[in-house]
Amino acid sequence: MAQYDCIIAGAGPAGIFAALELALNSGKKGLNPFKGLKILLIEKGKDINERSRKDIFCGWGGAGAYSDGKLNLSRDIGGSLNEYVGAEELDELIACADSIFLKYGVTSGVKGADRALAAPLEDGAARAGLKLMTFPIRHIGTDRCVLFLKQMRDALSGRIETLFGAEAAEVMHDSGKVTGIRTTDGREHRADFVILCPGRAGSNWLQGVARALSISTTVNPVDIGVRVEVPAQALRFATDVLHEAKLIYNSKRFDDPVRTFCMNPYGVVVREQSDGFSTVNGHSFSVKKSENTNFALLVSTTFTEPFHEANAYGEYIARLANLLGEGIIVQRLGDLQRGRRSTAERIKNNPVRPSLKDAAPGDLSFALPYRYLTDISEMIEALDRFAPGINSPSTLLYGAEVKFYSMRLKLTNRLETPVKNLFAAGDGAGVTRGIIQASVSGIIAAREILRRMAH
């Protein structure tokens, strides 16, 4: 039975940045009186050099390893950390996380920071009945994410102990204070501090931990919708300035919030494999470009009494689409509007060529409920007023796209649970929804641990 100063469970952005903060700040004056900390990082997936695109959610880098690599440099995007720390501190932490990405190999510039260029786009969106959120964004590209993750891995080599292919089973505690983690093989790993960073793939496990430790949780929404693919020229006026046009709409029929998400200029639509079902997503690369731009249209739903299993409902929709299309369904917008399924012949002759080649032509109206299709149709009409050409018969819709969000744990402003010295960070804890804020959450927890050690 080994003893550590700190155990980190999960090697996604939150876990990696917590490890960087603990290992590379240890011994600095004013932070930590010790010259070196004994840190263990537990990850059920593989190390970065052994991962492949089949391991989308688990392994060094988490889901971010094979993501589009968008670094949203705004406190208002990608999470709820502004509810835990003040605006000034959060801005400083985001800048800190961004500087670390630059240190380890990210070279792309920032778009969306020029207010003079963004203002006309905001005005155009308002006239269309939409709200455009503008913010600085650094786009890494799907093809480059693994490179900087390898640099971070190398920087931590020899400074922390790593345990890959090991799954945390139980958080050990005594008298209201954490004592370590027991893995599924029965081994006990003792520590004075523990940071749980399981990512979305481990959110169910973390919910089980919360129940076992009587930690209160709050239900987060589920986002359900489609991925839209249009000619890149239709949105070039916005994406060349902002990279991502994040637009929000409230539907007239149901007053539901609908939004664009994960816009990929000159990108490709991809299949994302989860545990027994597929959803659709999008990527764009740092150099290679397609003729199309794709983005998600998502409707956010928070369920209340008596039903509150939002993620289960989203999984049901995804599985239904898989059943009907034997995977991902693709449909021409014109066919959806005319109440007919798309056929292979219509897709073949469509002016917009699908970038996801194995999507099956079909009818999304058999998979998505009327409410969601109504919201999405309204949003497309509004988008067409902002970017003429979106509401075209040749626009392609893929389904289903589902974004699952973890239950949010009750945490202090330093992301500590009611169990003393037990922290939770990242997407799995329900406090972040993106790479930057997940990274920041790891820094917040690590800095608090260093502060306590120093005292």
**Per-domain boundaries in the chain:** 2-106+144-218+406-454, 222-403
DSSP assignment string, 10-49: --SHHHHHHHHHHHHHTT-TTT-SSS---EEEEESS--GG
Hey, which bits of 214-286 come out as E strands? Answer: 217-218, 222-231, 246-250, 257-264, 268-273, 278-283
**Among residues of the chain, what percentage have pLDDT more than 70?**
98
Contact 145, 57 (CB under 8 A): no
Range 443-451 average pLDDT: 97
Task: Look at residue 32 and tell me whether its pLDDT is greater than 70.
Answer: no
pLDDT-based confidence at residue 282 (cuts at 50, 70, 90): very high
- For 226-246, what is each residue's pLDDT tens digit? 999 999 999 999 999 999 999
Q: Detail the DSSP E strand segments found in 59-197.
A: 70-72, 110-111, 131-133, 137-139, 161-164, 168-174, 177-183, 188-196
| In the predicted structure, residue 447 carries a pLDDT above the cut 90 | yes
* % of the chain at pLDDT higher than 90: 83
Residues 4-18 have a mean pLDDT of 97
* Residue pLDDT, tens place only, 65-104: 888 899 999 999 999 999 999 999 999 999 999 999 999 9
Tokens representing 417? 């649970």
Q: Identify the CATH class of 2-106+144-218+406-454.
A: alpha beta
What is the mean pLDDT of the segment spanning 5-12? 97
Residues facing 41 on adjacent strands: 8, 162
Distance in angstroms (rounded) separating the CA atoms of residues 179 and 189:
8
Place of tokens 């070196």: 36
Cα separation, 200 vs 261, whole angstroms: 18
Close Cβ partners of 236 (under 8 Å, ≥ 6 residues apart): 265, 293
> What pLDDT was estimated at residue 394?
98
Least confident range of 186-195, 212-221, 388-397: 212-221
Rounded Cα gap, residues 235 and 452, in angstroms: 50
* Residue 35's pLDDT band (cuts 50, 70, 90): low
Give the pLDDT mean for 439-444. 98
Give the best-scoring range by mean pLDDT among 14-18, 67-71, 274-278. 14-18
DSSP string spanning 187-234?
-EEEEEEEEE--TGGGHHHHHHHHHHTT--EEPPPEEEEEEEEEEGGG
* Average pLDDT of the chain to the nearest whole number: 93
Region 51-66 average pLDDT = 85
Asked if pLDDT for residue 129 goes beyond 80, the answer is: yes
What integer pLDDT is reported at residue 287 of this predicted model?
85
Q: Is 30's pLDDT higher than 80? A: no
CA distance 253 to 273: 33
pLDDT at 195 over 90: yes
pLDDT at 70: 94
Q: How far apart are CA 231 and CA 396, in angstroms?
A: 10
Q: Is the pLDDT confidence value at 34 over 70?
A: no
Q: pLDDT tens digits, residue range 357-381?
A: 999 999 999 999 999 999 999 999 9
| pLDDT (mean) for 121-148 | 95
pLDDT exceeds cutoff 90 at 295: yes
pLDDT at residue 52, rounded to an integer: 83
